[in-house]
Structure formats: structure tokens, C-alpha cells
Structure 1
Amino acid sequence: MNKLELIDKLRMSTSIAKPQAKKVVDVFFNSMTNALAEGERVEIRGLCTFFPKSYPSYVGRNPKTGQRVTIKPKKLPFFKSGKALRDRINEE
């Protein structure tokens, strides 16, 4: 499912206009993105948790030349599924 499909699903299930559904989805994702950018954890009970994970600097290699390169420290979003989501996916 992509963002447009999510907007259509919201529109059909709530009977609101497409521009309003788009705004709701945009506010939701923008709020999550802003929270993660500020170092906060985003938890959606029963579904998942997103949090920024810090990685230290390290020495890597350029695959093309084999030259050693220092990789700067960085933060990446990390996703952890909730128990209810795992159980739902593994239903048989």
C-alpha cells in the first residue's frame, strides 16, 4: 500500500473529501517525521515503534577503488514491530 492508496482508503471509510483525507495523512506522517528528526520515539500501540538509532563513525572501503574512507556518525530511523502486528502477519 502506498500513500495514495492510504488516502483513498481513508476517504472511502470516513466519507470525507479527498483533499481532507490527504491533509490528515500528511499531518500524520509529517508529525512522525518531525518527532524522529527531533530524536523522539514514535509508538503506535499494537502496531510498531519508530525511533532514531545512532551509529558511530567507522572506517569503510570504497568498493570501486578499495581506498579506506571514514564514514561520519549518523542517525537512522529504526522500526520495531509490535506483538499484535507480528501475530496478525503470522496468522494461518
Structure 2
Amino acid sequence: MIRSELINRLAAHFPQFTTKDTELAVKAILEALSNTLVKGDRIEIRGFGSFGLNYRPPRTGRNPKTGEAVRVPAKAVPHFRAGKELCTKVDSGR
């Protein structure tokens, strides 16, 4: 599902809101989630899952074209872990 599909589904499910209102709400929620991760905090949505950051230390990589050693800097990578309810629901839907 992409963002526009989510907005359309929510607008159809809640007819009292316009599509523009739904779009603003989805944008605000995603912005809040992003800002929380940028600050280094963890996000937990009960029954759905949690978002966190995994730290990757600096390393030496290789340029696949030339084989030259390249320094890869340290970075934080977003990570999602599905909650128990979501895992059960997905597994039972198969």
C-alpha cells in the first residue's frame, strides 16, 4: 500500500472528513514518526509493532566496479519489529 491508497481508504472509511483533511492527518502522523526517529527515540504502537534505530559502525567496503577500498561511515538505520498481534493476524490470514 502506498500513501495515496492509505489516504483514499481512510477518506472512504471516515466520510465526515474530506480527502484533503485525511491527507493532512496522514502527513502529520508520518512527520511525527519521522521526527521521533530523528531524535533517536523509539516508537511503539501496541498491537502493530515498534520502530527503532539500529546503529551500524563505520567499516571498509569495496567499490564493486574497481575493487577499490572505500570508507563507509557509521550510520543509524530505521528498523521495524512487528508486534505479536500483527504477526498472529498475518499468519492466520494465509
Tell me how far 1:73 sits from its aligned partner.
0.3
> TM-score scaled to structure 2, two decimals?
0.94
Give the partner amino acid of 1:46.
G
- RMSD value, Cα: 0.8
Name the structure 2 match of 1:9: 9
Matched residue count: 92
- Kindly report which structure 2 residues correspond to 1:50-69, keeping only aligned pairs within 5 A, or say none: 50-69=51-70
Distance 2:70 2:4 in 1: 40
3-state SS of paired residue (2:67):
coil
Give the partner amino acid of 1:35.
T
> TM-score scaled to structure 1, two decimals?
0.96
Cα deviation code 1:47-73 (max 9, x no counterpart): 111111111001111111111111100
Distance 1:24 1:5 in 2: 14
Name the structure 2 match of 1:87: 88
Give the partner amino acid of 2:63.
N
Which aligned segments of 4 or more residues in structure 1 are displaced greater than 4 angstroms?
A: none
Distance 1:7 1:14 in 2: 10
Distance 1:70 1:26 in 2: 36
The percentage of aligned residue pairs carrying the same residue is 33
Distance 2:59 2:13 in 1: 48
Point out where structure 2 has 5 or more consecutive residues left out of the alignment.
Answer: none
